[in-house]
């Protein structure tokens, strides 16, 4: 018996909706923290719409809505957070502020909203010191997180359960993303776009903004040498640090040799060096070696084992362990991602 074909209803398939990105504003918010990331999503939307696809719906909101004055003095028009169902938000982005301690003193309603809303949104991200607000909401407990290099100590002291990553441009921990200082929000937003829309759209957005796409989270946000100089206000160890950088392949680059170079006793040297630079001598040597290895992997054609020996790691395996601990990536993978022309 011939079976009568089933007649299907004439249903027009729904076009996918634009992803909603909600930027949280508050008094004294950092303008570039917000606008840098927002411009990336604007550029990505432009690229998506040129392909006949939906991009991003970009919205500013604050606890009470209305005009919010940024730290730089410009005012942003915002909608009240209460008008948004968190489940309707794809990505929640929390900018920082140069006055984050003052902001935290008045942020209880915002922190409560973030704690509740983050459970329903697909992902939550912070730019710069916005990490403090995520931490206050408990979103960074026992998680690795990035913030502006100058605020790393403050973040760790105020929220001891946060594993502060001092080097990363941005960090992803499941559905929570954090980024380093100010313009690192652009790098973060490009990474979010790439995760959503693919490399081609992210690259097109980067070209629109005339920025580099390839600055993923593994790259350091701040030079170890510069940090040592910034911490050491009296420049006590500037000459020694330059000597270390020029002798990274020395087989005995320990406290005894460094103390000898500094004309100090080993015990006194170790104490004073940590006090002045914020790092133990061993940690400083490791960071200088890591930076030298990164530069060689980015700029030279030497093989990985040669780089390891030139930078004092001894062999590739020891260098790999250091790269994984600091950057979360193996040297060979780092080269593939960051090498010039790669």
Contact predicate 179/170, CB 8 Å: yes
Higher pLDDT, 17 or 23: 23
The boundaries of the domain holding residue 305 are 224-338
Q: In what helix (H) or strand (E) does residue 117 lie, and over which residues does it extend? A: helix 108-117
Same domain, 117 and 254: no
Q: Residue 264's domain is classified under what CATH number?
A: 1.10.10.60
Indicate the number of domains in the chain: 2
Question: Are 141 and 45 within one domain?
Answer: yes
pLDDT score for 320 = 93
Together in a domain, 164 and 241: no
pLDDT at 4 over 50: no
pLDDT number for residue 2: 46
d(CA 29, CA 217): 24
Average pLDDT, the chain: 87
234 plus 301 within the same structural domain: yes
Among 27-36, 161-170, 329-338, the range scoring the smallest mean pLDDT is 329-338
Q: State the pLDDT at residue 213.
A: 52
Last residue of a domain, one of 209, 233, 264: 209
Q: What's residue 77's pLDDT?
A: 97
Read off the CATH number of the domain in which 61 is found: 3.40.50.880
- Per-residue exposure over 254-278, b if at least 16 CB sit within 10 Å of its own CB, e if not: ebebbbebbebebeebbebbeebbb
Place 181 in a pLDDT band, splitting at 50, 70 and 90: confident
Specify whether the CB–CB gap between 136 and 208 falls below 8 A.
no
pLDDT value at 8 more than 60: no
Residues 252, 104 share a domain: no
* 178 backbone dihedrals φ, ψ, rounded to 5°: -130, 150
State the pLDDT at residue 7.
Answer: 44
The mean pLDDT value for 11-28 works out to 80
Q: Is residue 229 part of a domain?
A: yes
Residue 312 lies in a domain: yes
pLDDT of the residue at 212: 55
User: 228 pLDDT exceeds 60?
Assistant: no
Phi, psi of 35 (to 5 degrees): -70, -30
Q: Identify the pLDDT of residue 232.
A: 53
Q: At what angle do helices 31-50 and 184-197 cross, to 10 degrees?
A: 30
- The domain boundary, picked from 184, 209, 234, lies at 209
Q: In this prediction, what percent of the chain has a pLDDT beyond 70?
A: 87
**For 140-155, what is the mean pLDDT?**
94
Asked, for residue 8, whether it belongs to a domain, the answer is no
Contact 70, 31 (CB under 8 A): yes
Q: State residue 127's pLDDT score.
A: 97
**Helical H runs in 236-280?**
238-246, 255-262, 266-277
Residue 218: is its pLDDT beyond 60? no
268 with 202, same domain: the answer is: no
Can you give the pTM of this predicted structure? 0.66
Cβ neighbours of residue 135 closer than 8 Å, sequence gap 6 or more: 141, 145, 155, 158, 159, 162
Question: Which is more confidently placed, 215 or 186?
Answer: 186
Residue 223 confidence (pLDDT) above 80: no
Whether residues 229 and 127 fall in one domain: no
Tens of pLDDT, residue by residue over 269-304, are 999 999 888 889 999 999 889 988 988 998 788 999
Instruction: Take residue 72 and report the two structure tokens written for it.
Output: 């730089």
Both 59 and 164 in one domain: the answer is yes
Q: Are strands 75-80 and 66-69 parallel, antiparallel or unpaired?
A: antiparallel
Considering the domain architecture, whether residues 185 and 43 belong to the same structural domain is answered as yes
Per-residue pLDDT band for 222 (boundaries 50, 70, 90) equals very low
Residue among 189, 148, 184, 154 nearest 169 (CA): 184
């Amino acid at each position: 018996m011939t079976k009568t074909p089933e007649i299907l209803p004439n249903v027009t398939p729904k076009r996918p909706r634009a992803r909603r990105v909600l930027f949280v504003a508050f008094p004294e918010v950092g303008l570039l923290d917000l606008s840098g990331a927002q411009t990336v999503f604007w550029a990505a939307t432009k690229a998506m719409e040129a392909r006949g696809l939906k991009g991003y719906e970009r919205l500013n909101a604050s606890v009470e809505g209305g005009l919010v004055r940024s730290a730089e003095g410009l005012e942003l028009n915002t909608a009240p957070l209460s008008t948004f169902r968190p489940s309707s938000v794809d990505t929640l982005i929390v900018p920082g502020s140069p006055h984050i301690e003052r902001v935290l003193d008045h942020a209880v309603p915002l922190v409560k909203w973030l704690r509740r809303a983050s459970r329903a949104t697909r992902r939550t991200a912070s730019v710069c010191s916005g990490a403090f607000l995520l931490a206050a909401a408990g979103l960074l407990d026992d998680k690795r997180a990035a913030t502006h290099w100058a605020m790393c100590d403050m973040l760790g002291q105020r929220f001891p359960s946060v594993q502060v990553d001092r080097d990363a441009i941005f960090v992803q921990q499941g559905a929570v993303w954090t980024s380093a200082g100010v313009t690192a929000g652009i790098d973060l937003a490009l990474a979010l776009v790439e995760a959503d829309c693919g490399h081609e759209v992210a690259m097109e957005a980067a070209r629109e903004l005339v920025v580099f796409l390839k600055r993923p989270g593994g790259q350091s946000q701040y030079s170890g040498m510069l940090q040592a100089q910034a911490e050491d206000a009296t420049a006590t160890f500037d000459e020694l640090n330059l000597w270390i950088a020029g002798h990274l392949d020395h087989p005995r680059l320990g406290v005894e040799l460094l103390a000898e170079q500094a004309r100090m006793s080993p015990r006194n040297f170790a104490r004073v060096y940590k006090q002045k630079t914020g790092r133990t001598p061993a940690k400083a040597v490791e960071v200088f070696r890591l930076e030298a290895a990164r530069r060689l992997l980015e700029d030279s054609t030497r093989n990985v084992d040669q780089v390891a020996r030139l930078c004092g790691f001894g062999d590739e395996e020891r260098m790999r362990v250091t790269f994984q601990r600091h950057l979360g990536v193996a040297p060979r993978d780092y080269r593939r991602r960051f090498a010039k022309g790669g």
